[in-house]
Copies of this chain bind each other. A is one copy, B any other.
Amino acid sequence: MKLTRRSEYALLALTYLGRAATEEWVPLGRIAEAQAIPLRYLEHIVAAMCRAGYLVSSKGQHGGYRLARKPSEITIAEVIRLFDGALAPVESVSKYFYQATPIERETKMLAVLGNIRDYVARTLEGTTLADIL
């Protein structure tokens, strides 16, 4: 599980929105500036999070974005899975992104990697946006 900028920006945007007033529509420009994220890139990221149901948007003047769920109901795991796929170090031990890989034959190795994937999944599924605010 290697985090890309995409995921980092997504998490930063979420934290910003999590700290904003619940009612407020926050325009992207403000997030981009505050968190030093390229605006036009952030658009794509935020669009994906809308489709995924983490955010809702309002168009037009004084529009913007806000969280669609409570911060305590958005786990870090799902955000990272959305942008970077599997949490596992190898797809052979991935639960949601399983794929065969050459190392499968080595069962001891697989056990070690599986153990790691379990730890990562457990901690990231157990951590919500509310925890990091």
Inter-subunit contact A131/B116 (CB<8 Å): no
Q: Which listed residue, B36, B109, B112, B119, touches A102 by the CB 8 Å rule?
A: B36
Taken together as a complex, chains A and B put the C-alpha atoms of A51 and B83 apart, in Å, by: 36
The verdict on A1 contacting chain B, using a C-beta distance below 8 Å, is: yes
A-B contacts, 13 listed (Cβ < 8 Å): A1-B2, A3-B113, A5-B101, A8-B103, A9-B102, A11-B103, A12-B102, A15-B109, A36-B102, A112-B124, A112-B131, A116-B123, A119-B119
Q: Give A contacts to B, CB under 8 Å.
A: 1-3, 5, 8-9, 11-12, 15, 35-37, 76, 89-90, 101-103, 105-106, 108-109, 112-113, 115-116, 119-120, 123-124, 127, 131-133
